[in-house]
Amino acid sequence: MDQPKLIEEPAARLARRIAHASRIVAFTGAGVSTESGIPDFRSPGGVWDRFAPIEFQAFLADPEARRETWRRGLHTYPVVAAAEPNAAHLALVELERDGKLSAVITQNIDGLHQRAGHSPEQVIELHGNAHGVRCLGCGAWSSRDAVHRRVLEGDDEPVCRACGGLLKPTSVSFGEPMPWDEVRRAERAACASDLLLVIGSSLVVYPAAAIPRGAVQTGVPMAILNATETPLDGLAGVVVRGRAAELLPAIVQQAKRRV
């Protein structure tokens, strides 16, 4: 009697895909950082369960929206600043060091991919990051730590000390123009990859989610590692369900054994 064909479980299939790829592009969302202690946005208890998003236009027009932004930052920024990269971040660095990863496109603003050890130019931040503050008047940049201290000392609506302009964290708000150079770099990298590896994203926010969708339409194979279902699962050649910090290191190790 024929042996039943072993159906490779998805993680083993992903390991095989990684073993044979050489221009992998990772596309990450908040789910890659939850195991570093940073809540994601749309899981139960996530950021949008606790806060309503503050739109960019409201930030510009309404002093109370600005004060609420900095008030929230008193709670959220220390969590991001104290977070350490987890095993999923480190597994992606290992792929870069093995010469198999050509870029990390991230929606995250926590800077953990860079802290994990990626060459900074390999990380494309579509939504900016939480570690800087920009004056909307003169464009002067300052560290988030410095402005966070001002807010802690009671300055509830910090303005630029050089020109008096409005200060805003360098993370991109809803309704704020995207960093188009980064978006174009990300589109080019994703379309040039031989495996687009989506990790920890609900893939519901555009224009970011248009990047994996567009790459697949040009023929790039996609794999999704995510704790829950996403709208793009049907476009993926492999879907691995589970926790990134537990699964990705094992998958990368298995891929190395196959080479």
Angle between helices 180-191 and 210-217 (to 10 degrees): 30
**123 within 8 A of 152, measured Cβ to Cβ:** no
User: Can 127 be counted among the known catalytic residues?
Assistant: yes
Rounded CA separation 99/180 (Å): 27
Per the listing, tokens 């109370």 go with 64
The residue among 217 and 228 lying less far from ligand APR, judged by its C-beta, is: 228
Among residues 187, 199, 189, which one has the least CA distance to residue 236? 199
Q: Provide DSSP, 1-20.
A: -PPPPP---HHHHHHHHHHH
* Residues in region 19-48 near ligand APR by CB under 6 A: 29-31, 34-35, 40-43, 46
Q: How far is the CB of 123 from ligand APR (least distance, A)?
A: 14
Task: Identify any residues that bridge with 252 across adjacent strands, giving them in sequence order.
Answer: none
* Active-site pick, 89, 113, 118, 127: 127
Query: Which 75-114 residues touch ligand APR, going by CB under 6 A?
Result: 107
- Tell me the sheet residues that pair with 101: 24
From 22, 57, 119, 228, residue interacting with ligand APR (rule: CB under 6 A): 228
In angstroms and rounded to an integer, the radius of gyration of the C-alpha atoms of the chain is 20
* Per-residue mark of binding to ligand APR, 173-202 (x: CB under 6 A): ---------------------------xxx
Residue number closest to ligand APR, CB atom: 31
Number of residues forming the site for ligand APR (CB under 6 A): 22
61 C-beta neighbours (distance < 10 Å), count: 10
Least separation in angstroms between residue 138's CB and ligand APR is 26
Q: Does 59 bind ligand APR (CB under 6 A)?
A: no
Classify strands 238-241 and 167-171 as parallel, antiparallel or unpaired.
unpaired
* Residue among 113 and 127 whose Cβ is closer to ligand APR: 127
Which CB sits closer to ligand APR, 155 or 246? 246
Nearer to ligand APR, 163 or 250 (CB): 250
Q: Which segments within 15-83 are labelled E, that is strand?
A: 24-28
Contacts to ligand APR from residues 125-144, by CB under 6 A: 127
* Spatial contact of 22 and 100, defined as CB atoms under 8 Å apart: yes
Closer of 160 and 182 to ligand APR (Cβ): 182
Residue whose token pair is 């480190």: 90
CB of 2 to ligand APR, least distance (A): 37
Residues that bind ligand APR (CB under 6 A): 29-31, 34-35, 40-43, 46, 107, 127, 200-202, 205, 226-228, 243-245
- Catalytically annotated residues: 127
